[in-house]
Amino acid sequence: MITVSKVTTNAMKIVLPLILGGAILYWMYRGFDFRQMQHVLLHEMDWTWMLLSFPFGISAQLFRGWRWRQTLEPMGEKVRNSVAVNSIFLSYAVSLVVPRIGEFARCGVLKRWDKVSFPKALGTVVTERAVDTLLMLVITGLALLIQLPVFSDFFSRTGTRMDIMLGQFTTAGWLVTIVCGIAALICVHLLLRRMTIYKKVKDAACGLWQGVISLRNVRNVPLFIVFTLGIWLSYFLHYYLTFFCFDATSSLGIDCALVTFVVGSIAVIVPTPNGAGPWHFAVKTMLILYGVAENDALYFVLIVHTVQTMLVALLGIYAWLRLSFIERRHQEQADAENK
């Protein structure tokens, strides 16, 4: 039975990210002349480069689907390429409505079409995120070294000073925080043990752990690395090629593209639909630091983000239609193939 509180919670998961993203966009574009947008789209923008960027946006998701299939193999889960790829397409599209829900949606697709264990699939998603985070840290480190003065200017203008934030914690403060965290984990553990769902939670945790450690058993590690690098190179080219669509950004160079790509990738951590709002603000701010006029920077982030979001939505619609034509495996067939 669905309670009122559960309905309210689910509604807030949808409404709050929309409000947050909308508020940031409203603040950025208040007083903006949107009538000029049509002129920019029809007469000032080079759509050739935008169209050339689309294959890289698609290939990033293709590589992610192929890599995900590879991480599931060591656990005996055989996933069809078409199901894995289309689950990725669909996951990105549904995340436009509810941020982060796509991670669960793609696991649900695999369970429904290829009878893959949901906890194991979710565990491999955790594995993927860990790998991507590590690679993103490396890319961020390179960008920082290349353009350290620009990053320093960005943080000073936005009021972000990690040294000041962390400096506010005394030794006693750190100890209290750690003790409270440990105590909270113990309380949660004891509470779960008293509940009837403890065994289900424990089984789900075991499945998650199997997914996390599956990476060490990947059969073709070089191929896994190629897929991982392919994902992020495709993401970058999908973004970088859009620089050549506008006169204001076409001459900025690959260094600027790398820095703004990194800042934008960090900004989308904020849970709004496809990073709407935080991504606009972060990239716009960096472009201004590189000498782009504010109006030109606003046109760039609004057009690029809107067009790329539309591509994600179209891929999601395609995946939904394509999956309807893919035959679902029966449990007996899946068990036989996994033996």
Tens-digit pLDDT profile for residues 56-73: 999 999 999 999 999 998
In the prediction, which pLDDT does 242 show?
96
User: DSSP assignment, residue 40?
Assistant: I
Highest mean pLDDT among 25-34, 199-208, 220-229 belongs to 220-229
pTM, entire model: 0.78
CA 84 – CA 42 distance, rounded (Å): 37
**Overall number of domains in the chain:** 1
The reply to whether 183 falls in a domain is: yes
**pLDDT band per the 50, 70, 90 thresholds, residue 307:** very high
**Between 40 and 198, residue with greater pLDDT:** 40
CA 154 – CA 294 distance, rounded (Å): 15
* Identity at 190, one-letter amino acid code: L
CA 68 – CA 222 distance, rounded (Å): 15
**Per-residue pLDDT tens over the stretch 76-100:** 888 999 999 999 999 999 998 888 8
The reply to whether 282 falls in a domain is: yes
**pLDDT band per the 50, 70, 90 thresholds, residue 107:** very high
In the prediction, which pLDDT does 98 show?
82
The reply to whether 319 falls in a domain is: no
**Between 77 and 233, residue with greater pLDDT:** 233
Highest mean pLDDT among 3-7, 97-101, 182-186, 233-237 belongs to 233-237
Tell whether the model's pLDDT for residue 278 goes beyond 90.
no
The reply to whether 80 falls in a domain is: no
The reply to whether 83 falls in a domain is: no
Quote the tokens at residue 59.
């290939």
Tell whether the model's pLDDT for residue 199 goes beyond 70.
no
What is the chain's mean pLDDT, rounded? 81
Residue 105 to residues 86, 291, 316, Cα–Cα distance (Å) = 11, 41, 12
* Identity at 62, one-letter amino acid code: L
**Between 253 and 6, residue with greater pLDDT:** 253
In the prediction, which pLDDT does 228 show?
94
The reply to whether 217 falls in a domain is: yes
- State the helix-helix crossing angle for 47-72 and 294-323, rounded to 10 degrees: 50
| Residue numbers of the domain that contains 281 | 36-70+119-310
**pLDDT band per the 50, 70, 90 thresholds, residue 1:** very low
**Per-residue pLDDT tens over the stretch 22-37:** 788 888 888 777 788 8
The reply to whether 214 falls in a domain is: yes
**Per-residue pLDDT tens over the stretch 266-275:** 888 877 777 8
Tell whether the model's pLDDT for residue 205 goes beyond 70.
no
The reply to whether 322 falls in a domain is: no
**Mean of the pLDDT values across residues 298-326?**
95
In the prediction, which pLDDT does 17 show?
74
Highest mean pLDDT among 66-70, 178-182, 201-205 belongs to 66-70
The residue written with tokens 């190179």 in the block is: 233
In the prediction, which pLDDT does 192 show?
56
**Per-residue pLDDT tens over the stretch 133-168:** 888 888 888 887 777 766 666 666 655 554 554 555
**pLDDT band per the 50, 70, 90 thresholds, residue 191:** low
* Identity at 181, one-letter amino acid code: G
CA 87 – CA 98 distance, rounded (Å): 16
